[in-house]
Amino acid sequence: GIQVEQSPPDLILQEGANSTLRCNFSDSVNNLQWFHQNPWGQLINLFYIPSGTKQNGRLSATTVATERYSLLYISSSQTTDSGVYFCAVERKSSGDKLTFGTGTRLAVRP
């Protein structure tokens, strides 16, 4: 199956700092999604981004499909950004099944 690797595994930031999270995947994909899992366990959709660049407020994401990686940028971090960020991909011909990375755990300190 497809391999999905996220880095760094853990990240501690001071409030107001910027960060970049990376997702590498081992095969061509139809779908790539970024999620934020908050401290209560809920999964929140951040981006659907199989290619290109998108921005939503302080968050933006870029996927370079030909080089098999995606980046999630968090600017001016806030304590509410804390949690785990997951990248999930659907390999071409896998029939709509997402494979998740193991996540980046982010803690933003006030």
Partner 1 sequence: DADVTQTPRNRITKTGKRIMLECSQTKGHDRMYWYRQDPGLGLQLIYYSFDVKDINKGEISDGYSVSRQAQAKFSLSLESAIPNQTALYFCATSDSTGIHNEQFFGPGTRLTVL
Q: Phi-psi region for residue 95, left (φ > 0), alpha (ψ -120 to 50) or beta?
A: left
Residues 53-72 touching partner 1, rule: CB under 8 A, are none
User: Site for partner 1 (CB under 8 A): which residue of 51, 79, 80, 102?
Assistant: 102
Write the binding mask 30 to 49 for partner 1: x where contact by CB under 8 A, - elsewhere.
Answer: xx-x-x-----xxx-x--x-
Give the list of residues 6+ apart from residue 67 with CB closer than 8 angstroms, or none: none
Q: Which long-range contacts (CB under 8 A, 24 or more apart) does 58-63 make?
A: 61/34, 63/32
Q: Which is nearer to partner 1, 18 or 42 (CB)?
A: 42
Residues in touch with partner 1 (CB under 8 A): 1, 4, 30-31, 33, 35, 41-43, 45, 48, 86, 88, 90, 95-98, 100-103
